[in-house]
Structure 1
Amino acid sequence: MATSKAAPSGFSLLLVAASAFLGHARALQAGFVFDDRGAIQENPVVQGGLDLGALLGTDFWGRPPGEGPGTWRPLVVFSFWLNEQLGGFHTTNLVLHVATSVVLALALARHTGRTTFAVLAAMVFGVLGVHTEAVAGLVGRADVMAAGLAWLAWYAAGRADEPESPRKLAGAALAFAGALASKESAIVFPLFLVLADRTLSPPGRAPRIVSARYGSLVAAAGVVIALRSMAFAPPLSAVMREVQANPLLAEGMGTRLWTSLRLFGMALGKIVLPVGLSADYSYAAILPEHSPFAWPVLAGALALVGLVVAAIRLRLREPLLALAAVMVLVPWIVTSQLPFVLPTIFAERLLYLPAAGFALVIARLGEWALERTPGALVPAERATKKGKKRAAQKRREEADPARLRSLVLVLAPVMLGNAALAWDRTADWENERTLFASAIEVVSRSARAHHNYGSALLNEGKAAAAIAPFEEACEILPTWAEPHAQLGVALLEAGRPREAEEHFRKAVELDPASPKAVFNLAVFFAREGRLEEARSTLAPFVERHPKRSREAELLKQIEATLRAPQRP
């Protein structure tokens, strides 16, 4: 593979930035929806003053160990806190996506030596429609920051054939530590670097596994994990997950494997053709696969094996395509549900990193179109003459209309198509109602999609309209407490208190530890004048969860009312 060590020009990087910005500019109109509320608007760390102890000692949602899914991402939470002080939540998300695309161009150019390929890949990556959730959804910032910092670490590490230096090692380690502090999935970056080095290096020239190049990254990971363990909790401990979000929690390894293969095929489909996107895939949108012979499982297995074979067989003949396969496969290890079960069974934001592999494939096709255009000149990097003749030849090639037409024919359908799909899809992120109305169209058997759509209607004062989606959620997953708690509110506001009480009680029966269920039942009793029942509902919960200020305050008010002398 002929290479050049030239970096992308400023104009080229501007093209990358413009593509990423314009492709997802509509994200600036998105609202605070879905998980954005819990991670930002209801997060005491984000809403309070800067508290380093709270920042490091709570999870992504501002909860202490044992009360949440255990996702520790202090760098992202700190960025949310800054936005809370200065504003610009969605602007920051978009700028971070633009910056990540630019860093990808720089890293690819440095490691492949092919600036045209690097710029084309980054331009395609920037407009991919599958990125809408990561860019428009504020919680997707974790995926964007982790990817950007991982690629920054790749850039800082330098090429495998370049001399190592303390500056390179420190820069790569620091960027990788930032990626890990943004999202746990970045832990696979050292493996990616090892495979990328072996893919792009001549046979026998890749660095040894035991070397400072990789050892510095392992050390950085150790520091981050130690900090997390001291300030918060060890990885994989103090984790709360729900079957309604990931039904694989109750399944064995065989079922997880078959389901993982299905999810892999589904992920590739969403990356290549980003249609039918949804903000939610929880119970029962995707159910566990119990047979290896189901066609989605077989299709996913075929795709997975094909990519692995491609990465091995193409390493010498087409290393850029082999690198594309590595970019898909390595991030998938974390999201495959095999090493451990994630809090959610599937989410489009998890595809932010793997989608780069598809962008590399399109960029390589663009290069082929340039190289194989009939009548085109020999590429400049293969010319034998030097100096002014070589520079002039290169300029003539770049301006050759036939070559440019071939490039446009490859890139235009992918980039314009994805930009159009992203623009259309991002409109759904305007508010909760539009987001989950579209989700129900795609995943009609998702209990959470119906529940969240009902909650959006309830928040808009449309209690009567909210009853049906809540009932649908209860029917899909009868053991989930929250839809019953919300259905009780809708029924109460619709003037049906007896039915409301039934669902309030059912919610507490299903999950006595649910703050929403307990609070809603207690408020109902208080409004009905049944203060003793309200106190007996709240007291055990507050005793078990003394840090829940809302419930504790309501209990104090109820007890004060009970102690007050009754007027004749």
Structure 2
Amino acid sequence: MAQTEVDWDHHIPLPKLAPVKAKITLALVALLCFINSYDGDFVFDDSEAIVNNQDLNPATPLNNIWGNDFWGSNLSSNNSHKSYRPLTVLTFRFNYLMAGGLHPVGFHILNIGLHSLISALMFDMFSILLGGLTYVNRKRLNHVPKASLLAGILFAAHPIHTESVAGIVGRADLLCALFFQLSFLTYCKAFRGGGFCEQLRFCLNVCKECKNIPAHICHLWSCILMTGLTSVHELVRTGLLTRLALLSLSGASLLYTRWKIMGTGPPAFTEVDNPASFAENVFLRVINYNYYYSLNAWLLLCPWWLCFDWSMGCVPLIKSAFDWRMPWLLLLWSFLIGLINQAICSQDSQRRRTLTLGLVLLVVPFLPACNIFFRVGFVVAERVLYLSSAGYCMLLAYLFGSFLNHNDKRNPMGLLRALLLALLCVYVARCSMRSHQWRSEQSLFTSALSVCPLNAKVHYNVGKNLADRGNTSAAIKYYREAVRLHPTYVHAMNNLGNILKERNELVEAEDLLAKAVHIQPDFAAAWMNLGIVQNSLRKFEEAEQSYWNAIRFRKKYPDCYYNLGRLYVDLNRHLDALNAWRNATMLKPDHSLAWNNMVILLDNTGNLAQAEVIGREALKLLPKDHTIMFSLANVLGKLQKYEESEGFFLHALRINPNSASCHGNLAVLYHRWGKLELAKKHYELSLKLDPEALGTRDNYDMLQRKLDQLYRTTAP
């Protein structure tokens, strides 16, 4: 390729940097944009994919990663999302091991580092895609150093990447992009001998469901190179036909393997996840899909309107051809058709090649999310634009350079540099602001209220976050709004019912929970919570039936067995209560409340020997549980095993020194044991912690009278 074909590169108002300096610059820009997310929490999807994912735990067999989905569910399960990303999960497990637990800093630092590395490698990618592949003395020439740098800066600092970088689960997109880059660059190196592109493509496929993005782009790259060859002999001699055949074969193999792993079918999604895909009218489906595409394009062009979730009414469906949003579809396709026309019909071969590659890099990575081949579980997802944004940045850099080239004499370079610097500053500021919002769930969820006020899930998440922080009064407001916006939102009903239950507003709580299970009959948690409310309302038969419904829909439900046991205690069905709690501990051996209630019930019914056995069994599993120590100490005291009882009381107090009841019961033990001074000491400590404890006060007064009597009888 002649140098004169890319003269427009010289007009870009950026310095011409050596490749190493350019890559360092891009890495530093990426670091600057997202560095303030390094100490963020686990937020949103991180809870399921990382915090609650047992595949990260070193105690979990490593082989489980290869049989489970991204969220830790077995791929064969009906509830699996079929998101097969074992290599990504493996990196999470690495972070877990390095940090010695679930400490988010290491997870965030690795994400930021990956984005910086990807941004640096983009310089090589853009130099090939914009300037072509030319080697001199086995050294690749970069004909567009300034354009490559400009496109790289735009990519490194684009705010659309915040979700992928600041959200830890976005690592799937980062690894996908990284292995795509390595695959493409390795494929390009194959033109001068060797490479391991297929192995890298396999790695890409186990990072995220990207199917065959490298294959498509490498195919196109090969086809463009083929246009310069004039005979079949040259095609064979250069190995292009062989490479195309290998790409096709390996791509088909990876696609088939992926399809088999997914169980030969995509996951099932609901209407709230992607409303347009459930529209009965094909015309409406197509119109709304295209509107979604225009929203994605707008987010690339103006990444200010960002939200962690775009479902549940955030984007109302277009139901008429006269909807005010229809012009956006026309504008999108007018622009795309214009670019495609230039890519096909332009007299400038370099323009045709650049626009074609830019459009392919923009569109192909987005294809798995476009609803054409299968239904996806979202309306808009910013993270799926991570790789597509590279195509956008490439096109923008090329169009900017071409514009400057055609208006050479009228270009005020100082002003253009200032505009570029201003754009970069805006991008950096927006990245910094958005990264800060991703540091905690409170700021992330609250930020979405102004972007998607019609999104019931946004209000639900704000309410849930407030409830988790103890602000239930404010949470009620957001839960009610979520139910108003989406009247069949059973999870919002369940959480609102729980709060009302705790506030003793039982009638409304029962109505909400009953409505939730009517809408979704297999909602086990709502059935259990309904049972708790009905038990509080003394509707014992209904409560028992609700508990059993919960267990029917969720076989392994220890908390439900625990609450069922409490119901049986209220009904004086002690044996049934013990059986229910035993089931809870079998399903969840560390269920402290179930163990403790068994000890207390056996103690209260006079079965002290059995209570002792259960208490000791519980402490083998929960050796630091002070509540079980307390209950067992009471039992041992009644069995007159004073020394053992004292040991458990003292151990419990070392763990929880401010327990008034523990001090009080230890005082009773000393009182019985005849250690009156120690009894007095612990009675006083108990009363200091809880002055209103009448039983302790009475026992203390009794002890005081006894001590006074002893003092009088022993006085000289």
Map of 1:441 onto structure 2: 450
CA contact 1:546–1:552 (8 Å) conserved in 2: no
d(CA) in 2 for partners of 1:67 and 1:236?
13
Percent pairwise identity: 25
Q: Does 1:245 align with 2:273?
A: yes
Map of 1:21 onto structure 2: 31
Alignment partner of 1:99 out of 117, 133, 139:
117
Map of 1:351 onto structure 2: 385
Aligned-partner SS, 1:56: helix
Matches within 5 A, 1:368-447: 368=402, 405=414, 408-409=417-418, 411-447=420-456
Larger mean Cα displacement after TM superposition, 183-192 or 12-21: 183-192
d(CA) in 1 for partners of 2:70 and 2:532?
29
Matches within 5 A, 1:99-118: 99-111=117-129, 112=132, 113-114=142-143, 116=145, 117-118=147-148
Q: Does 1:510 align with 2:544?
A: no
Matched residue type, 1:151: Q
Map of 2:373 onto structure 1: 339
Map of 1:86 onto structure 2: 98
Map of 1:321 onto structure 2: 355
Matched residue type, 2:202: A
Alignment partner of 1:192 out of 198, 217, 234:
217
TM-aligned CA distance change 1:264 to 1:207, over 3 Å:
farther
Aligned-partner SS, 2:71: coil
TM-aligned CA distance change 1:523 to 1:193, over 3 Å:
farther
Map of 2:197 onto structure 1: 172
**Deviation for aligned residue 1:219:** 4.5
Map of 2:288 onto structure 1: 259
Map of 1:269 onto structure 2: 298
TM-aligned CA distance change 1:246 to 1:369, over 3 Å:
closer
d(CA) in 2 for partners of 1:218 and 1:425?
40
CA contact 1:104–1:148 (8 Å) conserved in 2: no
d(CA) in 1 for partners of 2:565 and 2:96?
31
Alignment partner of 2:187 out of 151, 154, 157:
157
Aligned-partner SS, 1:430: coil
Matched residue type, 2:175: M
Map of 2:337 onto structure 1: 305
Aligned-partner SS, 1:521: helix
Alignment partner of 1:12 out of 22, 28, 33:
22
**Deviation for aligned residue 1:556:** 7.8
Larger mean Cα displacement after TM superposition, 451-460 or 134-143: 134-143
- TM-score, normalisation: structure 1: 0.84
**Deviation for aligned residue 1:426:** 1.7
Q: Could you give the per-residue CA deviations for residues 371-413 of structure 1, whole angstroms, max 9, x where no partner exists?
A: 679699xxxxxxxxxxxxxxxxxxxxxxxxx998477346323
CA contact 2:164–2:170 (8 Å) conserved in 1: yes
Give structure 2 stretches of 5+ with no counterpart: 6-15, 100-105, 133-141, 579-600, 606-716
**Deviation for aligned residue 1:282:** 0.3
Q: Does 1:49 align with 2:59?
A: yes
d(CA) in 2 for partners of 1:299 and 1:245?
26
**Deviation for aligned residue 1:16:** 1.3
CA contact 2:55–2:62 (8 Å) conserved in 1: no
**Deviation for aligned residue 1:513:** 2.8
Matches within 5 A, 1:455-466: 455-466=464-475
**Deviation for aligned residue 1:182:** 1.2
Matched residue type, 2:187: A
d(CA) in 2 for partners of 1:531 and 1:82?
50
d(CA) in 2 for partners of 1:530 and 1:221?
61
Larger mean Cα displacement after TM superposition, 143-152 or 187-196: 187-196
Map of 2:628 onto structure 1: none
CA contact 1:258–1:291 (8 Å) conserved in 2: no
Map of 2:364 onto structure 1: 330
d(CA) in 1 for partners of 2:565 and 2:159?
50
**Deviation for aligned residue 1:335:** 1.5
TM-aligned CA distance change 1:325 to 1:233, over 3 Å:
closer
CA contact 2:565–2:576 (8 Å) conserved in 1: no
TM-aligned CA distance change 1:531 to 1:332, over 3 Å:
same
Q: Does 1:75 align with 2:87?
A: yes
CA contact 2:460–2:492 (8 Å) conserved in 1: yes
Larger mean Cα displacement after TM superposition, 531-540 or 94-103: 531-540
Q: Does 1:563 align with 2:576?
A: yes
Alignment root-mean-square deviation, CA = 3.4
**Deviation for aligned residue 1:133:** 1.0
Q: Could you give the per-residue CA deviations for residues 434-482 of structure 1, whole angstroms, max 9, x where no partner exists?
A: 1111111111110111111111111110111011111111111112211
**Deviation for aligned residue 1:183:** 1.2
d(CA) in 2 for partners of 1:420 and 1:96?
20
CA contact 1:281–1:345 (8 Å) conserved in 2: yes
CA contact 1:46–1:81 (8 Å) conserved in 2: yes
Matched residue type, 2:576: R
d(CA) in 2 for partners of 1:543 and 1:248?
34
d(CA) in 1 for partners of 2:235 and 2:486?
52
d(CA) in 2 for partners of 1:301 and 1:561?
71
CA contact 1:264–1:304 (8 Å) conserved in 2: no
Aligned-partner SS, 1:504: helix
Give structure 1 stretches of 5+ with no counterpart: 377-401
Matches within 5 A, 1:192-231: 192-199=217-224, 202-204=227-229, 211-222=241-252, 224-225=254-255, 228=258
Larger mean Cα displacement after TM superposition, 32-41 or 558-567: 558-567
TM-aligned CA distance change 1:491 to 1:265, over 3 Å:
same
Q: Could you give the per-residue CA deviations for residues 340-396 of structure 1, whole angstroms, max 9, x where no partner exists?
A: 1101111111111111122113433564588679699xxxxxxxxxxxxxxxxxxxx
Aligned-partner SS, 2:63: helix
Higher relative contact order, chain-length normalized (CA < 8 Å, sep 6+) = 1
Q: Could you give the per-residue CA deviations for residues 541-565 of structure 1, whole angstroms, max 9, x where no partner exists?
A: 4445446666577668878966148
Q: Does 1:2 align with 2:2?
A: yes
TM-aligned CA distance change 1:154 to 1:53, over 3 Å:
same
d(CA) in 2 for partners of 1:158 and 1:175?
13
**Deviation for aligned residue 1:531:** 6.8
TM-aligned CA distance change 1:515 to 1:140, over 3 Å:
farther
CA contact 1:149–1:176 (8 Å) conserved in 2: yes
**Deviation for aligned residue 1:21:** 1.0
**Deviation for aligned residue 1:290:** 3.8
d(CA) in 2 for partners of 1:267 and 1:431?
25
Q: Could you give the per-residue CA deviations for residues 85-107 of structure 1, whole angstroms, max 9, x where no partner exists?
A: 22311111111111111222223
Matched residue type, 2:287: W
**Deviation for aligned residue 1:306:** 3.3
CA contact 1:501–1:524 (8 Å) conserved in 2: yes
d(CA) in 2 for partners of 1:2 and 1:362?
23
**Deviation for aligned residue 1:330:** 1.4
- Work out the number of aligned pairs and report it: 535
